[in-house]
Amino acid sequence: MPKITLEDGTFKEVAEGTKLVLAIDDCGCDILHRCGGNSRCTTCRVEILEGDAGPIGELEQERIGREADWPANRRLSCQVRVTGDLTVRVLSTATSTGMPRGSRPID
């Protein structure tokens, strides 16, 4: 099973095909997902530090295409399906922003 590791070393093994945002959530991280995983808000953004997060889908590309200076390793975790080991940096959490997290995305 693929292993998802956060920057602080927390990790979780998840079934292949799991949405990355849910894997991060299940690591105990309070990552934001304000639009509920619908590729609208970008608050679930992460940086891929190690591993291959797979191709960028049409919905994700359309949304990140509206952002200026979007780094190549930055992804919308609600749009990534885990297929292999990844190490990620979570960029927006409820703790760091004071914002409500949003409803948990559907698997």
* C-alpha separations of 19 from 2, 5, 105, 107 in Å: 12, 14, 9, 7
Q: Is 19 exposed, middle or buried (0-12, 13-18, 19+ CB in 10 A)?
A: buried
Identity of the residue, 18 or 42, whose beta carbon is nearer to ligand FES in the bound complex: 42
Q: How far is the CB of 24 from ligand FES (least distance, A)?
A: 11
Name beta bridge partners: 93: 31
- Contact letters for ligand FES, residues 78-97 (x by CB under 6 A): x-------------------
Among 24, 27, 39, 88, binds ligand FES (CB under 6 A): 39
Q: How many residues in the shown chain lie near ligand FES by CB under 6 A?
A: 13
Shortest distance, position 21 Cβ to ligand FES, whole Å: 6
User: Rounded to whole angstroms, how far apart are CA atoms 21 and 25?
Assistant: 6
